[in-house]
Amino acid sequence: MMHILFLIIISLAVYFSNLFFIKKKFLLNSTGDPHQNFISKKKTTLSGGIFLILAFITLSEINLINKLIFILFYLIGFFSDLKIFKSPIIRLISQILLILIFILKNNLFLENTRVIFLDYLLNYELFNIIFIIFCITIIINGTNFIDGVNCNVIGYYLIISLILYNLNLFDEFNSNIIYFRYWVFVLLLLYILNFTNKLYLGDNGSYFLGFIYSYSLINIYLSNQNLSPFFIILLLWYPAFENLFSLLRKVNFNKSPLKPDQNHFHQLLFFFIKKKKIANEKFINSITGNIILTYNLCIFLFASINPFNTQYQILLIVLNIFIYSFIYIKLFKFKYKKIIKTRL
């Protein structure tokens, strides 16, 4: 009974707090930036991260210093949404510094990746640190990249949470089952509000989720060495691949890797659904995100069949990237078919 009451209190607190933020015009997505207004012209609050950080501080059992680092990391996104940290370089440097402090404080070092030459290089502490920083920053900023349609990020990490719960894989972040269930409930609430355009995550929410889950999954692997590291890679494939693919795409088109564009997978899919009039325009945003989520759910379910078999996980990763690339090319050609025909 107490648990049900607590869930009701959480629901009411999140709902009415969000209404308050909207009324006070706090953190509205009214910046006029093309990449932020690509999907919706509606002024919606970027308050999702606020509820996440409060839930994290309340429910997580990690130590006080680590919580402080997570709070500081959250503030990078928060100041970005307030347009205080306008420069992507400043945000990236801030991320790298905090991740470095976090690694050294927690003695977080990778080992036994089941890739011989990489394991050899990881014996060198400096390389190990640089590699972890690279991996985490790729996930964090990739998470921010995919946060362009409703439910895409919140739903993605909600699915990962349920997969971990089903496989009984926990670390210090989610070791208390009761608290973990509350955390999942908060994600579900934010998913519903995001689905209905009542709130967005903003940089504050996407950066924060990317940092939490990249660290948590690394920690889970280090605590469960029987797990295939490629299972962890597969769980984080979407933000990682979207980020790396985006960088390569922009370089290929002679554009700055740091400047946003409108050629991410979710943006191309949104354009396709809109042009084909597959769904009511009011719901295209949420439908786009949930199509991608459904695909990722299928991939994760297949991966969960045998998370210990490296060959199986590598096969799924290769197949996954092939499917993604194939669909991406089709969607890209659909969007730019007139330009392509002109050049031909």
- φ/ψ of residue 28, rounded to 5: -75, 150
**Res 35: pLDDT:** 44
Token pair listed for 119: 């394991």
Q: What is the largest CA-CA distance in the chain?
A: 68
Q: CA 252 to CA 246: how far, in whole Å?
A: 10
Q: Report the alpha-carbon angle 73-77-82, nearest 5.
A: 135
Q: CA 243 to CA 248: how far, in whole Å?
A: 9
Q: CA 78 to CA 63: how far, in whole Å?
A: 23
Cα–Cα nearest to 44, from 11, 12, 19: 19
Burial string for 297-318 (b: 16+ CB within 10 Å, else e) reads bebbebbeeebeebebbeebbe
Contact yes or no for 201/162 (Cβ under 8 A):
no
**Res 43: pLDDT:** 67
* DSSP state, residue 199: B
**Res 32: pLDDT:** 44
Q: CA 74 to CA 240: how far, in whole Å?
A: 20
Q: CA 255 to CA 249: how far, in whole Å?
A: 8
What pLDDT tens digit does each residue of the chain (344 aa) get?
Answer: 555 666 676 677 776 676 766 666 666 765 444 444 455 556 678 888 888 888 888 877 788 899 999 999 999 999 998 888 888 899 999 999 999 999 999 999 998 888 999 999 999 999 999 999 999 999 999 999 999 899 999 999 999 999 998 998 876 655 667 778 888 888 998 999 899 888 888 899 999 999 999 999 999 999 888 899 999 999 999 999 999 998 888 888 888 777 778 889 999 999 999 888 887 777 888 999 999 999 999 999 999 999 999 999 999 999 999 999 999 999 999 988 756 555 54
Q: What is the identity of the amino acid at 330?
A: K
Distances (CA, A) of 165 to 120, 220, 245: 33, 12, 30
Q: CA 292 to CA 318: how far, in whole Å?
A: 18
Residue with tokens 């050609």: 333
Contact yes or no for 173/57 (Cβ under 8 A):
no
HEC states along 242-267? HHHHHHHHHHHCCCCCCCCCCCCHHH
Length of the chain: 344
Cα–Cα nearest to 33, from 81, 85, 95: 81
**Res 176: pLDDT:** 64
